[in-house]
Chain A
Amino acid sequence: MQYGDTGWIGVTVTLLLVTFILGNIFRAKKGKDLYIRRIAGLNAIDEAIGRATEMGKPVLMVPGLGALNAISMQALLIFAHVARTAAKFGTPIRLCCADAAVYTVAQELIRDVYASEGLADRYDMDSVRFISDRQFAFAGGVSGIILREQTAAAFFLGEFYAESMIFAETANSVGAIQVAGSTEKTQTPFFIAACDYVLIGDEFYAASAYLNREPVLVGSLIGQDWSKVAIMATILLGALMNSIEMRGTTVFERKDGVLQPIAERPMKIADTTFTHLFKPQRNPEEDAKIEREKDPKFDAGAGEGGGE
């Protein structure tokens, strides 16, 4: 089997991580009370909603600019938790979407929340809105809502880009409590500057496990930790091995995936075992030997038909 692109190592590592995660999920399903460290931003959620309830002003939720994927999904799951609390207190909510597919899920999800709380009648489908799928139109629209409705609490969780600063600072100007978290590390510093509580990096992914200690989520969280530990170990081991190897000399050099003898010289990083492992090379000559019969209809001149 030829793994032309990744080499066997890539496949192996990926599968290892997958096993860690799934393995722990199924392990945790057996149900043990598992530890998760404190995440400040998430304890603030109820406080923020409480504040909004006192002031009788709406709670704003923005799942970011991203299309429908795990990130916006995760954001919506956290918002479901927020919406549940808000529903109990009868606090009005505003959920502003920048993607129609996300909007669809949000409608479904939030309606479910209200229904499951037996408050279906309280649910106003206009509280979940599609604003615009164009970044700055979205930014303009949301800050318009923040300013006009004077939202008392704001949750910005998901994939945020430049607009993060517009939201955070506008919400701050109306004195809203803000909980923010973005998988976009470039935006995190701005949230840190303007928001009260910030989820950094994959604290965001840990959130739902932290909020509702479901075995599946907690298990997966443990699996993620194992994976991180594995990476840390690899880095330690690799760095040490590279250091030791590079103190020595080599009489081989890898050219096109083949080790060729050379005059003895000090090791370079490119000669180390780990580099060979991580950067598999294919031998173009060997590859060129693989020949296939041509399709008679093929016209070398033009681009091929069926430009998928």
Chain B
Amino acid sequence: METPVTPPAMGFAEKLMSVKRHTLYLLLIVATSVPTFFSITLPNKPDQPSIDFFTTVMALPEGSTILIETDWTKSTRGDSMGQMQALLRILMRHNIKFAIYSTADPAAPQVARDTIGRVSEERRAKGERPYVRWEDWVDLGYFPNSEATNNAIATNIRKAFAGKTEVPGVGQPATDVFRSPVLSHIQKVGDMPLLLVVTASKTFDIIVERLYGKVPLAAMVTGVMGPESTVYYASGQMVGLCVGLKGALDIERMMESGVNNPPDKPVVVNKKNPEVVPGFPGDDNEGNGKAYYPTLHLALTLMILAVIIGNIGMVLTRKGAKS
């Protein structure tokens, strides 16, 4: 990329400093297109927030019900779908029931349902028990007002989702979700061992404001929400946090290797808690995380190179100016 299209008058240093944006754009397209066709495995070391997230989810008691606020749509598919897929695989392998709701975008429940369907389908394909709506999970739908909804959940979850119905099975009448196996035993949000947010927006702020202390909170957020949500993780308002593509990859890796496992020579070490958490070795644990990670490397490298070149150019021109 040291050969930008620039008028010949320029010296080498100036050239370095004035690479055309179009050149950069073109390079980026190439860098992000080519690797998508290959499957490469790269080393990766899970972060503590991801480890906490993973262990928290793995520790959920079998058959318990958790609440998932899913607030992402196609536009952040790259980050959120990988995370959600990994999460669902874990939940389904541990028979953990879940109820999903959305407060960010009317389109969010649809993408969530699609993802659940896909993961359940891949279980069927492997001859495992597919996840059945109403029996194993319910969709509480979209709620336009995040503040009000989460306030309501905090004060009285049954009222917050009152009147929501689902069709238990073919030919059966729509029935109140609180009669479903998923929610029948839930009186208040505290009855759930965890409230999970899979979000591409600031909705976890609202969750923390309204629900902190009422139920353990954990979040899967896009890379951009990472720094903000890390604040809540650091202050202990969230028990686990999975950030961006790296987070998704972390979870995928831990699903394969487990945590502190094997005890004598652990692949992933949990500094906070020596407890051994076995993963699902050999099961299909790979997803977007693995698929996109190599491409991310190339793109980041391009970016770093571009910045370095710009700076070299600047330093050189300064030198030239001095002499």
A residues near B (Cβ < 8 Å) are 5, 135-136, 161-162, 173, 185-186, 301-308
Binary CB contact string for chain B from 193 to 213 against chain A (1 if under 8 A, 0 otherwise): 000000001000000000001
Q: Is B160 an interface residue (CB 8 A)?
A: yes
Residues of B within 8 A of A305 (CB): 162-163
Contacts A186-B225, A186-B227; A302 near B179 (Cβ below 8 A) = yes
> Is A302 touching B176 in the complex (CB atoms < 8 A)?
yes
> Is B21 touching A303 in the complex (CB atoms < 8 A)?
no
Which B-chain residue is minimally distant from A134 (CB atoms)? B105
Q: When chains A and B are docked, how far (Å) is the Cα of A301 from the Cα of B176?
A: 9
Min CB distance, A242 to chain B, in Å? 15
Contacts A186-B225, A186-B228; A303 near B152 (Cβ below 8 A) = no
Interface residue from A162, A173, A186, A306 paired with B159 (Cβ < 8 Å): A306
Within 8 A of A (CB), among B75-122: 75
Q: Is B161 an interface residue (CB 8 A)?
A: yes
Min CB distance, A117 to chain B, in Å? 38
With A303-B159, A307-B162, A308-B159 given, can you name 12 additional A-B contacts, CB distance below 8 Å? A161-B201, A173-B21, A185-B227, A185-B228, A302-B179, A303-B163, A303-B176, A304-B156, A304-B158, A305-B163, A307-B160, A307-B164
Contacts A173-B21, A186-B224, A308-B152; A301 near B179 (Cβ below 8 A) = yes
Secondary structure of the A contact surface, majority rule: loop
Min CB distance, A212 to chain B, in Å? 31
Query: 8 A-B pairs, CB-CB below 8 angstroms?
Result: A135-B75, A301-B179, A301-B184, A302-B176, A303-B158, A303-B161, A304-B159, A305-B162
Q: Which of A301, A302, A303, A307 has the most CB of B within 10 A?
A: A303
Task: For the complex of A and B, list the 7 residue pairs with the smallest distance between their C-beta atoms, beginning with the closest.
Answer: A307-B162, A303-B162, A303-B178, A307-B163, A303-B158, A302-B176, A304-B159
Which of under 10, 10 to 19, 20 to 34, or 35 or more describes the interface residues of B?
20 to 34
Q: When chains A and B are docked, how far (Å) is the Cα of A79 from the Cα of B177?
A: 49
Residues of A within 8 A of B177 (CB): 303
> Is A303 touching B225 in the complex (CB atoms < 8 A)?
no
Residues of A within 8 A of B201 (CB): 161
> Is B178 touching A302 in the complex (CB atoms < 8 A)?
yes
> Is A162 touching B224 in the complex (CB atoms < 8 A)?
yes
Secondary structure of the B contact surface, majority rule: helix
Within 8 A of A (CB), among B123-158: 152, 156, 158
Which A-chain residue is minimally distant from B158 (CB atoms)? A303
Residues of A within 8 A of B178 (CB): 301-303
Q: When chains A and B are docked, how far (Å) is the Cα of A162 from the Cα of B163?
A: 36
Q: When chains A and B are docked, how far (Å) is the Cα of A214 from the Cα of B179?
A: 59
B residues near A (Cβ < 8 Å) are 21, 75, 152, 156, 158-164, 176-179, 184, 201, 213, 224-225, 227-228
Residues of A within 8 A of B164 (CB): 303, 307
Which A-chain residue is minimally distant from B224 (CB atoms)? A186
Which A-chain residue is minimally distant from B76 (CB atoms)? A162
Q: When chains A and B are docked, how far (Å) is the Cα of A161 from the Cα of B178?
A: 37
Q: When chains A and B are docked, how far (Å) is the Cα of A115 from the Cα of B169?
A: 64
Min CB distance, B187 to chain A, in Å? 8
> Is B162 touching A306 in the complex (CB atoms < 8 A)?
yes
Interface residue from A135, A161, A304 paired with B162 (Cβ < 8 Å): A304
Residues of B within 8 A of A135 (CB): 75
Residues of B within 8 A of A308 (CB): 152, 159
Q: Which of A173, A302, A305 has the most CB of B within 10 A?
A: A302
Residues of A within 8 A of B156 (CB): 304
Q: When chains A and B are docked, how far (Å) is the Cα of A8 from the Cα of B126?
A: 56
Contacts A185-B228, A303-B158, A304-B156; A136 near B75 (Cβ below 8 A) = yes
Q: When chains A and B are docked, how far (Å) is the Cα of A306 from the Cα of B162?
A: 7
Residues of B within 8 A of A186 (CB): 224-225, 227-228
Q: Which of B177, B179, B224 has the most CB of A within 10 A?
A: B224
Which B-chain residue is minimally distant from A279 (CB atoms)? B213
Residues of B within 8 A of A161 (CB): 201
Residues of B within 8 A of A303 (CB): 158-159, 161-164, 176-178
Which B-chain residue is minimally distant from A300 (CB atoms)? B187
Which B-chain residue is minimally distant from A189 (CB atoms)? B227
Q: When chains A and B are docked, how far (Å) is the Cα of A301 from the Cα of B186?
A: 10
Residues of A within 8 A of B75 (CB): 135-136
Residues of A within 8 A of B152 (CB): 308
Q: When chains A and B are docked, how far (Å) is the Cα of A301 from the Cα of B177?
A: 10
> Is B227 touching A307 in the complex (CB atoms < 8 A)?
no
Q: When chains A and B are docked, how far (Å) is the Cα of A302 from the Cα of B162?
A: 8
Q: When chains A and B are docked, how far (Å) is the Cα of A308 from the Cα of B224?
A: 33
Q: Which of A135, A186, A306 has the most CB of B within 10 A?
A: A186
Residues of B within 8 A of A304 (CB): 156, 158-159, 162
Contacts A301-B178, A302-B178; A307 near B228 (Cβ below 8 A) = no
Which A-chain residue is minimally distant from B184 (CB atoms)? A301
> Is A307 touching B161 in the complex (CB atoms < 8 A)?
yes
Residues of A within 8 A of B158 (CB): 303-304
Residues of A within 8 A of B213 (CB): 5
Residues of A within 8 A of B184 (CB): 301
Q: When chains A and B are docked, how far (Å) is the Cα of A105 from the Cα of B179?
A: 46
Q: When chains A and B are docked, how far (Å) is the Cα of A99 from the Cα of B164?
A: 29
Min CB distance, A280 to chain B, in Å? 10
Min CB distance, A83 to chain B, in Å? 29
Which B-chain residue is minimally distant from A280 (CB atoms)? B213
